[in-house]
A and B are shown apart, each in its own frame.
Chain A
Amino acid sequence: MSSGKKLLLMGRSGSGKSSMRSIIFSNYSAFDTRRLGATIDVEHSNLRFLNNMTLNLWDCGGQDIFMENFLNNDNSNNQSSNTSSNVFHKCEVLIHVFDVESKEVQKDIDTFKRVLSNLKKYSPNVKIFILIHKMDLIQVNKRQELFDLMFDKLKSIALDEYGFHIRGFATSIWDESLYKAWSSIVCSLIPNVSVYERYLSKLNEILNAREIILFEKTTFLVISSTKRIVDSAKRDDLDPKRFEKISNIIKTYKQSVNKIRTNFSNLILHGNNSSIYLEILTSNIYIMIIMNNDNAQTAEATKQEDAASPKIIHYQLNDENLVLQDIKIARDLFEKIEREK
């Protein structure tokens, strides 16, 4: 069990730690999380991610008595119980959750400080993410301001006093912001993202797609996309939150399909402006390819002048086969990467 990467999920009681975990990793809907009770002590979960990466997620109960237990006995002699060194030992990622509605902000920050000091002692190379959670309870126009305020404060604390660089996200379980945060967290753990990106850009050269996105299969978090490779100047002004929204949409779809006791394997959509292909790429990855549809192709199509017009009618089927073939070929390539690791 020690082979995997260790993630600590910490924060005060009731801040929504277990809800997040259940939504991202256990296919709960946001509504279902109401029936989660308090976490006692630490709940471990081992998650296989991308075949050979195991995440050990330590969901630490946030009630004061547990927190004291985790934090306190570093200054006392270690003989009583080794929880604190145990919890903070060899930790790769800390995800600290703050409840945006919390009344005791100072206490939250104090807890955060103590966690940091422990981490500095036991695993100084840890990556730290903070999530300002339950943002849905704040008025829309105040969210950014509030987030900046809290994040700046926490950032300065972490950097000045402990030398940690931290990254922060504003999240809520009721929208797609949760997927964005976790996607960045998990991406920071994947060792060979660059390999994926290289192959992805190659694939894009062949397909000339509008966009290609890779998703992890079970969680549907975004692993990689062509957006990160190609400079954004060329990109059309698409919704900047689209990745998270896609994760959210497909997750909901998966849940509803689960009701008829099965799972979905692919999806091909010929929409108004683009054709979207969602396919299994390897045993752990889904690929989503967005092709420009006939409308958008006019740039190229007009060059061929009138010869293009009879093509438009049959375009879908021909194109579909081509894309599916390309995906098939790409599949071998990506499977090879997975095996190599």
Chain B
Amino acid sequence: MDYIDSPAQSRATILLMGLRRSGKSSICKVVFHNVRPLDTLYLESTTKPTTESFKSLIDLAVVELPGQLNLFEPSLYDSEKLFSSIGALVYVIDSQDEYLSALQNLAVIIKYAVSINPRIHIEVLIHKIDGLSEDFRLDTQRDIMQRVGDDLLDYGLEGVQISFYLTSIFDHSIYEAFSRIVQKLIYELPALENMLDLLMQYSNFDKVFLFDINSKIYVATDSSPVDIQTYEVCAEFIDVTIDLDGLYQISHKQKSNQIMASETSGSNTNMDLFSATEPTKCISKLQNGVTLYLHQMIRGLALVGVNRLEDGDDATSISVIDHNVAIFKKSLEKMWERSKLS
């Protein structure tokens, strides 16, 4: 695997392209802004390139280009600079529409992008598959892959690696696809996966995800295959944790009251009022013996694991997990510090 490691740029950038009305803005809204999928029906069409940046494990920026853009209009912006600075190009194809023109457009863009930045990751989202029947989806995917391959062959670009994803904003497939795309941009991924594998081994986890809390994208997981339903439950579990905790948040007014109270009582403990907060932790048992485990990590990340505990010694095994997770967190912090220094 190759990574973009140009030192000049500090954050990974994803470029989101596609024909108009293919669903680019909706994807952005749903994944990064927690907008309900149905509400994206009323989005205006995007007229100028928009950039959104996100702080997660890596600093991520998503640049969205308007669909009706003529790429080779030099006056609009410096496309050469743009393409040389991005880590991944995501092209969105509307699978419910006639996609031949989209494929032509895609081939032109790929040719251009590769000529400028040969190490770019090219990802194709075959989007809006919620409207297609089960067998038709695979047919569509095969057809698109075939055609793209042919087009590239015509351009003499047969070596280019392209990944395809079937996505829809109405289920979790879009998160899954974005997780994969973001993961390719994380330089430390193999090390992270190794650590998660170790954690899994020693704590009897069935599956461990490292989630970004805001977007529900998982930035890393262990090397066992991802089961989409497990992912969904874990993502939902984060929501439950955050929502419940939010309900019993102490409001600012009260907090200041408490500080006032502690000040009047003569003690100056208000410093550790805020510093002593423990990381959020949540454990939920299911009736089939599975335990969901969430532990807050650094930088808006949370570790969510699925564990199948043997009956009886719950308290001990959870303590063991706690201990292991604490070690994992420490090494994550260390790793993060290193990567900042280098």
Contact = CB atoms under 8 A, between A and B. Distances in A.
A208 interface: no
B47 interface: no
B197 interface: no
A234 B224 CA distance: 51
B247 A269 contact: no
A120 B45 CA distance: 58
A227 to B, nearest CB: 13
Interface in A225-266: 236-239, 242, 245-246, 249-250, 252-253, 256-257, 259-266
Chain B interface residue number, banded: 35 or more
Given A236-B254, A256-B233, A274 B286 contact: no
Given A236-B254, A271-B280, A260 B249 contact: no
Interface string A281-309: 00000000010011110110110010001
A269 B244 contact: yes
A312 B276 contact: yes
Contacts of B261: 299
B267 A305 contact: yes
B68 interface: no
Interface string A127-169: 0000000000000000000000000000000000000000000
B283 A256 contact: no
B42 interface: no
A267 interface: yes
B248 A276 contact: yes
Contacts of A261: 288
A298 B230 contact: no
Given A262-B290, A298-B273, A305-B267, A268 B283 contact: yes
A302 B269 CA distance: 8
A299 B258 contact: yes
A264 B261 CA distance: 40
Contacts of B274: 295
Contacts of B41: none
A257 B233 contact: yes
Contacts of A260: 229-230, 233, 286, 290
A116 to B, nearest CB: 38
Taking each of A265, A316, A317, which has the highest tally of chain B beta carbons within 10 Å of its own beta carbon? Answer: A265
B284 A237 contact: no
Contact of B276 (A256, A257, A263, A295): A295
A272 B277 contact: yes
Contacts of A107: none
Given A270-B280, A276-B245, A265 B232 contact: no
Interface residues of chain A: helix, strand, loop or mixed (majority): mixed
A241 to B, nearest CB: 9
Taking each of A210, A262, A273, which has the highest tally of chain B beta carbons within 10 Å of its own beta carbon? Answer: A273
B267 A270 contact: no
Contacts of B262: 298, 302
Interface string A87-103: 00000000000000000
A305 B267 CA distance: 8
B253 interface: yes
Given A210-B248, A260-B229, A267-B284, A294 B265 contact: no
Contacts of A267: 240, 282-285
A242 B245 CA distance: 11
A264 B230 CA distance: 14
Contacts of B230: 260
B248 A290 contact: yes
Contacts of B236: 252-253, 256-257
B278 A294 contact: yes
B286 A264 contact: yes
A73 to B, nearest CB: 44
A249 B287 CA distance: 19
A296 B258 contact: yes
Taking each of B236, B241, B278, which has the highest tally of chain A beta carbons within 10 Å of its own beta carbon? Answer: B278
Contacts of A245: 243, 247
Given A236-B254, A238-B247, A264 B229 contact: no
A296 B239 CA distance: 24
Interface in B255-314: 258, 261-262, 265, 267, 269, 272-274, 276-278, 280-288, 290
Contacts of A268: 282-284
Contacts of A256: 232-233, 236
A211 B247 CA distance: 12
Interface in B199-253: 229-230, 232-233, 236-237, 239-241, 243-245, 247-251, 253
A246 B60 CA distance: 33
Contacts of A290: 248
15 contacts: A211-B248, A236-B251, A237-B254, A239-B247, A242-B248, A249-B240, A252-B239, A262-B290, A263-B287, A265-B285, A274-B245, A294-B276, A296-B258, A298-B273, A312-B276
Interface of A: 210-211, 236-239, 242, 245-246, 249-250, 252-253, 256-257, 259-274, 276, 290, 293-296, 298-299, 301-302, 305, 309, 312, 316-317, 321
Given A246-B244, A267-B240, A268-B282, 7 more contacts: A210-B248, A236-B250, A264-B284, A266-B284, A268-B284, A270-B278, A301-B269
